[in-house]
Structure 1
Amino acid sequence: MHAITLDGFGGPEKMRWTEVPDLHPGRGEVRIRTTAVGVNRADLLQRQGFYPPPAGASEILGLECSGVIDEIGEGVEDWQIGDQAVALLSGGGYAEQVVVPAGQAIRPPTGIDLISAAGLIEVAATVLSNLDRVHLNSGEWFLVHGGAGGIGTFAIQYARALGAHVATTASAAKLAHCRKLGAEIVIDYSDDWLTQLMMATSDRGVDVILDIIGAKYLADNLSALRDDGRLVIIGMQKGTKAELNIAKLLNKRGTITATSLRGRPAAQKAAICQQVAERVWPMVASGQIGLAPETRVPLPDAEEAHRLLASGDIIGKVILTA
């Protein structure tokens, strides 16, 4: 088979379309002949040497894919050769074949083609698991940073489906997109987003924040929380170290948590995937949650896909097509 490999860490030019050994599933695993692969910012970090795969995972980039099952390992009963699947991966997606634990593969949403489905599983699993973790409730105010990206586009719609009110930050050119998705407060992050948010909420702030930025936003995120507010950090695009005002956190009875989906045990990831299939896929199939805008790039041209995502110019999801 062929796959994207790295000629050392660095820029997109380090990526190579090369021939590598075929894969075969072990016990409890399935092999997927890849149709498409979702591109995530974690892939860019791994390419640069900042986000190594968990022990035992493939060093090939790619955390989600879609395709057709073409080989089944011993002990797998719920899949047959020829079944369509989307899969949540610890790595290995940028390849013509992917081997994954059977529990991390689920059928695509009804009515969604395999290419579009490739860009859904990672964002759905990330948002669902994290909003479950911080118990976002109907009627609460929710803030997601980066509302026009893959995570943000999904999170806005999913939070609205849960009955929450939504605020988001994005670049000025993308605010209209966020508003169409259902965000009630849309803020240009290049301005003083905290001041704008507090004005829009009559100085009350929000109950829950989903943050992809990391260290740079920690202090402002804490200021934006209401009493008993919850901040969940899932990214570190703008740094890994920041100072925390513990007194402010105590006074607000606030909660700060941080999670990574990639390194979770297989059993946890399988449970999350099952929740996605049961709770999220019906929302997608019915149109309650719409697909993010897509930019499709051939898999051998993954270098271009990384440049597009890093530019910040696109809205929605970048998908590699096999």
Structure 2
Amino acid sequence: MKAVVITEPGGPEVLAYQDVPVPEPADGEVLLEVAATAVNRADLLQRAGNYAPPPGASETLGLECSGRIAALGAGVTGWQVGDEVCALLTGGGYAEQVAVPAAQLMHVPSGVDLVTAAALPEVSCTVWSMVFDRAPAADLAPGEAFLVHGGSSGIGTMAIQLAYARGARVFTTAGSAAKLQACRDFGADVAINYRESDFADVIRAETNGAGVDVILDTIGARYLEGNVASLATGGRMVVIGMQGGAVGQLNLGALMTRRASIYAATLRARPLEQKALIVAGTEASVWPLIEAGQVRPVVHEVLPMAEAAEAHRIIEDSSHIGKVLLSAR
């Protein structure tokens, strides 16, 4: 089969589409014929040599995919060869075939085509588990105020839609007029141009000083001070990215005064048991909203898998709105 291979750490040009061995599904796994995969910022970090896969994971890029089941490993029940699915992966999605634990499979929501379904697993599982699930995540409730940074990203577009659908007041940040309008179209009540305004000042004014109850942050250190200043009493901040740096100063006094909490986590390295629960919870809670038309996958562009380097350039340029997909067919 063919897969995208990192020939050496570096820029997008180090990605090559080459022949590699077909993976064998282990006990409890299935083999998927990949229809499409999606590009995530973690892929860019791994390509550059800054994000090694967890022990035992595939070295091939790709944290999610859609496709059809081609073979069942020993002990797999509830699925059949030919089933159309999407899957949360620990790696391996940039390929024509991938082996994945059956517990990380999800049905394709009705009304979503198989290629587009590749845009769903990573963002929906991340947002659901970090923002809406119960402890240790944020447990965002209807009527609360929610802030997500980078509202036009894959994570951002999903977070805005889910928060809006579940009755939260949604704040977001973005860097252009087109992206700000897209965020409003997805359900953001307040869209803040971070190039022109201090988001913390805007939130303070819009909430009469009360702040927001939950923050989903992909930026990290650069926004730490502003995020803490934006939290309401009892607020919860969930950090899932470090685009703005990993090390910052935390004002513990401000955090204590607000009786607030900060939670930081990734999804990729979690054990199978945890991922299985997240996948099941996401399908049970998010898929009905997709099938009802309240939430939709947002796809910026679909490129052939052989053009993975161009897809990485699009993500690095941050010109996209939603997800960039790679089609294997």
Which band: TM-score by shorter chain? Answer: over 0.9
Summarize deviations over 1:245-264 as a string: whole Å, max 9, x none. 11111111110010100000
1-structure distance, mates of 2:221, 2:90: 25
Which AA in structure 1 matches 2:192? I
The corresponding residue for 2:148 is: 144
Structure 1 unaligned runs (5+)? none
SS of the equivalent of 1:118 reads helix
CA shift, 1:291, in A, is: 2.4
C-alpha separation in 1, matches of 2:12 and 2:327: 18
Which residue is equivalent to 2:282?
Answer: 276
Q: Percent identity?
A: 50
| Match of residue 20 from structure 2 | 20
TM-score (ref. length: structure 1): 0.98
- Comparing 80-89 with 286-295, greater Cα deviation is found at 286-295
How do 1:1-322 residues align onto structure 2 when only pairs under 5 Å count? 1-131=1-131, 132=133, 133-173=137-177, 174-191=179-196, 192-322=198-328
Question: 1:99: Cα distance to partner?
Answer: 0.3
| Secondary structure in 2 matching 1:125 | helix
Q: CA deviation at 1:49?
A: 1.3
Which letter maps to 1:292? V
C-alpha distance in structure 2 between counterparts of 1:285 and 1:38, whole Å: 21
Q: Aligned partner of 1:120: which letter?
A: L
SS for the counterpart of 1:222 is helix
Partners in 2 of 1:15 and 1:32 — Cα distance?
22
- Alpha-carbon distance in 2 for matches of 1:137, 1:72: 39
Q: Is contact 1:24–1:71 with CA below 8 Å preserved after alignment?
A: no
Question: Could you tell me how far apart the structure 1 residues matched to 2:66 and 2:296 are?
Answer: 18
**Letter in structure 2 aligned against 1:81:** V
Runs (4+) of structure 1 moved beyond 4 Å?
Answer: none
- The superposition leaves residues 145-169 of structure 1 with CA deviations (integer Å, 9 ceiling, x where unpaired) of 0001111101011011221110000
* Alpha-carbon shift at residue 294 of structure 1 (Å): 2.6
How far apart in 1 are the matches of 2:110 and 2:34?
19
Query: Residue 235 of structure 2: SS of its match in structure 1?
Result: strand
Q: Secondary structure at the match of 1:227?
A: strand
State the secondary structure of the residue aligned to 1:274: helix
Cα deviations across residues 258-290 of structure 1 (Å, max 9, x unaligned)?
A: 010000001111111111111111111110102
Distance in 2 (CA, whole Å) between partners of 1:279 and 1:228 is 25
CA contact (8 A) 2:149 2:173 kept: yes
* Contact 2:116–2:299 under 8 Å retained in 1: no
What is the RMSD of the two structures over their aligned residues, measured on CA atoms?
0.9
1:236 maps to amino acid: M
Task: Give the AA of the match of 2:95.
Answer: A
Structure 2 counterpart of 1:74, which letter? A
- 1:33 and 1:96 in contact (8 A); partners too: yes
Q: Distance in 2 between matches of 1:38 and 1:156?
A: 19
Deviations 1:159-201 (A, max 9, x none): 1122111000001221111111111111001122221221122
Q: Deviations over 1:183-236 (max 9, x none)?
A: 111100112222122112222210100001111111110000011110000011
* Whole-Å separation in 2 of the counterparts to 1:259 and 1:308: 26
- 8 A Cα contact 2:119 2:299, kept in partner: no
For 2:307, the aligned partner's letter is D
Between the two proteins, the alignment pairs up a number of residues equal to 322
Question: Would the aligned equivalents of 2:148 and 2:160 in 1 still touch at CA under 8 Å?
Answer: yes
Amino acid paired to 1:228: G
Q: How far, CA to CA, are the matches of 1:240 and 1:48 in structure 2?
A: 17
1:32-61 CA-partner distances (Å, limit 9, x unpaired): 000000111111111111111111000110
C-alpha distance in structure 1 between counterparts of 2:282 and 2:228, whole Å: 29
The more displaced of 120-129 and 284-293 is 284-293
Q: AA paired with 1:223?
A: A
Measure the CA separation in 2 of the matches of 1:236 and 1:29: 32
Tell me, in whole angstroms, the C-alpha distance in 1 between the residues paired with 2:7 and 2:268: 23
- Kept in 2: contact 1:249–1:255 (CA 8 A): yes
CA distance in 2, matches of 1:137, 1:280: 15
Unpaired runs of 5+ residues, structure 2, are: none
Separation (CA, whole Å) in 2 of partners of 1:134 and 1:193: 21
